[in-house]
Structures are given as structure tokens and as C-alpha cells.
């Protein structure tokens, strides 16, 4: 198997990542408001696309890394920004009435326990709901780490196969239970830590890994072409299940309650388009090379997506409340909130995170970058 990776910057990954962050943000700040519920009703699909991007990027960053290098790079990527975001989030929770978040439809937990879990990125509760995806990411990192110990890139294909064979049957069972109306019992994971088994979301990491493997090898064996088709079907079933589970939580809009068919069709269409962009961006990375100034701008957008995602609910609800108190309507308040969240995320990503990361490297004796992957981290 060839392990050659593209030397060009894959601009499409950061563009998709940033688009997904905006989608998730607008969704979370609008879906409980009757007058805004149609602003981005499919925005939750951005999380699934995040997992696909992780499958690509983590496979790439691990391909030439030792176990220690991989651990360093993942720690420095996840934790400094998360710690700074937790400071912002907890500070706002201490200074803003909790009714503000309830009015915005944003779930929060202002307890020290939730703060601790938001710092370690694991546990049963967090400062706000967006953090639920991070233990899933960590579980995937752990699986990749085992693959590195077991033989490096040669083990990535078995990992992708394992994720398909574990996740697709679960998604079939999950979607069937929602249609037929029977309970899964212990196998209903909700948003809890049992998702770290990757039975539900492993399909998305597998898609990303297969995209990366296709880009590395230029072809897949017949078995893996079948598994890729199967995992794409599994993704469709998981998206259907998510729509079924959350449709009742939307505020009734001007045309009445949201329909499952509308949610599923829109989410599937967006997922298909963004997945295609990810694959084509990898395939044509050497051809689609932006000018340096454009690449720097898009790279900055990609870097700020992680803190943006972590702070968008609490900071967004705070700004929405302040803007509406000054007479702005819901749409105008949202247009104010987005750049405020973006500016705060930019300060974290461009200034706070690098300073904290360098301090950690000095403290632990880690000099320089842990890996030099060419794809966005």
C-alpha cells in the first residue's frame, strides 16, 4: 500500500469545516424559536460531517507518526483550545442569568462538575451540549493509536473495516427501532458516554478513512468498495434516525410542525454534497491550489472552527439576549451574534491557543511541532 500523501494544502477541508460550524451554530440558536426555526433546520448534519473530516485528517496525521508523536499532536490540538473555551463559557455562566440560555433554547450546566468534564473532555455532563462529540473523537483517536502500535498505516484498513462492520448493523437496528416503535434498552446511547463505543458514529470516521485511503492508494479492493457503499448506506440510516429523534424538539414554524421527511431529505442532500466536496478536494489537492493569501485566510477559518464550535451556544445565547434587549429582532440578533462568536474564536485560535500550547510544550519538554501533516489538523 502506498502511503504517499498530497503535498498541497487541501483547501476544501477547511472550507467544509467552517461551513459546518456556521450550520451547527445557526441551528442551535434558531431551532427552538418559531420565527427562526426554518433558518437552518438541517444544521445538525454538520456534526456528522465533522466526523468524516476527522476520519480523513486523523488517518493522515497518524500515517507517519510514532505513538508518542500522535499523542502529542492530538493533545495539543484538542486541549488548549478547549481549556480557553471553558474559561469563556464558565465565565459567562457565572455572570449571565440562566434564564437567558433557557430562552434561547440552549442547554447548560453551570456546575463545577460540568466544568471539570469540559476540561478533561470526558464524562456524563458538560458546560453545554456541543461537548458531547468530543469523547467520541477521543475514542476514535484511541482506536487509531492502537493501529499505530499494531503496525501503523497497514492497520488503518482493518480499522475502517471494523468500524463499518460494527456501526452499520447498529444503525440498521436503531432506525428499525424508531420505525417499529420498540425500545433498544441499553443500546440506546442518547448523547452519553456509551457513544464512545463508536457503534453509532463510527460510520462517519470510516467514510473519512476510506476517502483518505482512496486518495493514498487510488483504488480499493472489491471488498472495501462494497464496505464503502455499505457505510454510506449506514450513514443515511443514522441521519434518518437522528431526524426521527429530534423532530419533536423543533418549535412549530409558520407552516406548522417540522416533518421528518423534510428533515431527512434536506440533511441527506447536504451531507452528500459536503462529503463529495471532501472527496474531490482530496482527489484534486494538487490541482486546486489557492493563492497564498487565500490559503492563509481559509486556513485561519479552519483553525477557528474548533473554539467557535465550543463557545457558540453560550456566547451566542448571551449576544442574542443583549441584542434583542436593544430592540433587534431574532434575525438581526443572530447576524450580530455570528461575528461576535467568530471574533472570540479567532482570538482563541490565533492568540490564546498558540501561547498556551507553547507554554505546555515548554513545561513538558515538547519542542516544536509533534507532526508535520499537510492536511488541516
pTM of the entire predicted model: 0.94
Indicate whether 1 belongs to any domain.
no
pLDDT higher than 70, residue 2: no
- Helix axes of 222-246 and 202-217: crossing angle, nearest 10 degrees: 150
- Residue 251 DSSP one-character state: P
Q: What is the mean pLDDT of the chain?
A: 92
Indicate whether 369 belongs to any domain.
no
d(CA 164, CA 150): 19
Task: Kindly list the distances between the CA atom of residue 314 and the CA atoms of 80, 106, 202, 297, 337, in Å, as whole numbers in the listed order.
Answer: 19, 7, 28, 26, 11
When pLDDT is cut at 50, 70 and 90, the band that residue 371 belongs to is very low
CA neighbor of 194 nearest in space, from 118, 107, 124: 124
Residue 134 has what pLDDT?
A: 97
Task: Kindly list the distances between the CA atom of residue 204 and the CA atoms of 50, 232, 312, in Å, as whole numbers in the listed order.
Answer: 9, 8, 23
Question: 338: domain range?
Answer: 11-364
When pLDDT is cut at 50, 70 and 90, the band that residue 152 belongs to is low
Q: Which residue has the higher pLDDT, 84 or 377?
A: 84
Q: pLDDT (tens digit, 9 = 90+) per residue, 244-263?
A: 999 999 999 888 899 999 99
Indicate whether 50 belongs to any domain.
yes
Contact 13, 278 (CB under 8 A): yes
Q: Which residue has the higher pLDDT, 152 or 205?
A: 205
pLDDT higher than 50, residue 3: no
d(CA 124, CA 193): 6
- Residue 108 DSSP one-character state: B
Q: Which residue has the higher pLDDT, 124 or 219?
A: 124
Q: Which helix (DSSP H) or strand (DSSP E) does residue 315 occupy?
A: helix 292-325
d(CA 51, CA 167): 14
Task: Kindly list the distances between the CA atom of residue 18 and the CA atoms of 27, 88, 246, 304, in Å, as whole numbers in the listed order.
Answer: 14, 21, 24, 8
How many structural domains is the chain composed of? 1
Phi and psi at residue 128, to the nearest 5°: -155, 170
Indicate whether 94 belongs to any domain.
yes
Task: Kindly list the distances between the CA atom of residue 286 and the CA atoms of 9, 201, 254, 279, in Å, as whole numbers in the listed order.
Answer: 8, 30, 47, 13
CA neighbor of 306 nearest in space, from 127, 105, 46, 64: 46
Indicate whether 208 belongs to any domain.
yes
Indicate whether 114 belongs to any domain.
yes
d(CA 232, CA 129): 27
d(CA 77, CA 56): 15
Residue written as cell 437552518? 40
Mean pLDDT throughout 163-169?
A: 97
Mean pLDDT throughout 77-98?
A: 97
Indicate whether 97 belongs to any domain.
yes
Residues present in the chain in total: 377
Look at 176-185, 262-271, 293-302, 362-371 and tell me which has the smallest mean pLDDT. 362-371
pLDDT higher than 70, residue 1: no
Amino acid at each position: 500500500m502506498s502511503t504517499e500523501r498530497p503535498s498541497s494544502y487541501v483547501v476544501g477541508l477547511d472550507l467544509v469545516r467552517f461551513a459546518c460550524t456556521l450550520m451547527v451554530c445557526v441551528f442551535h440558536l434558531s431551532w427552538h424559536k418559531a420565527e427562526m426555526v426554518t433558518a437552518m433546520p438541517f444544521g445538525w448534519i454538520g456534526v456528522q460531517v465533522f466526523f468524516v473530516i476527522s476520519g480523513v485528517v486523523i488517518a493522515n496525521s497518524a500515517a507517519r507518526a510514532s505513538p508518542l508523536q500522535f499523542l502529542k499532536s492530538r493533545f495539543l490540538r484538542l486541549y488548549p483550545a478547549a481549556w480557553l473555551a471553558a474559561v469563556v463559557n464558565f465565565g459567562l455562566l457565572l455572570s449571565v442569568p440562566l434564564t437567558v440560555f433557557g430562552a434561547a433554547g440552549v442547554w447548560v450546566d453551570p456546575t463545577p462538575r460540568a466544568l471539570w468534564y469540559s476540561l478533561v473532555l470526558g464524562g456524563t455532563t458538560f458546560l453545554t451540549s456541543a461537548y458531547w462529540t468530543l469523547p467520541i473523537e477521543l475514542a476514535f483517536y484511541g482506536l487509531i493509536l492502537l493501529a499505530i502500535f499494531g503496525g501503523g498505516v497497514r492497520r488503518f484498513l482493518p480499522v475502517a473495516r471494523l468500524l463499518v462492520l460494527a456501526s452499520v448493523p447498529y444503525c440498521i437496528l436503531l432506525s428499525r427501532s424508531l420505525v417499529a416503535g420498540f425500545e433498544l434498552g441499553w443500546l440506546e446511547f442518547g448523547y452519553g458516554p456509551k457513544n464512545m463505543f463508536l457503534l453509532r458514529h463510527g460510520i462517519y470516521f470510516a467514510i473519512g478513512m476510506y476517502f483518505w485511503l482512496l486518495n493514498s492508494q487510488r483504488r480499493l479492493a472489491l471488498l472495501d468498495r462494497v464496505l464503502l457503499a455499505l457505510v454510506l448506506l449506514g450513514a443515511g440510516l443514522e441521519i434518518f434516525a437522528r431526524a426521527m429523534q429530534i423532530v419533536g424538539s423543533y418549535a412549530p414554524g409558520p407552516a406548522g410542525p417540522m416533518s421528518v421527511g423534510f428533515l431527512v431529505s434536506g440533511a441527506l442532500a447536504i451531507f452528500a454534497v459536503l462529503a463529495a466536496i471532501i472527496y474531490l478536494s482530496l482527489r484534486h489537492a494538487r490541482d486546486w491550489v489557492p493563492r497564498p493569501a487565500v490559503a492563509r485566510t481559509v486556513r485561519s477559518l479552519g483553525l477557528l472552527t474548533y473554539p467557535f464550535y465550543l463557545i457558540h451556544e453560550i456566547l451566542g445565547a448571551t449576544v442574542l439576549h443583549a441584542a434583542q434587549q436593544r430592540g433587534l429582532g431574532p434575525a438581526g440578533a443572530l447576524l450580530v451574534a455570528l461575528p461576535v462568536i467568530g471574533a472570540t474564536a479567532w482570538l482563541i485560535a490565533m492568540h490564546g491557543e498558540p501561547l498556551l500550547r507553547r507554554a505546555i510544550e515548554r513545561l513538558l519538554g515538547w519542542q516544536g511541532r509533534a507532526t508535520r501533516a499537510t492536511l488541516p489538523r
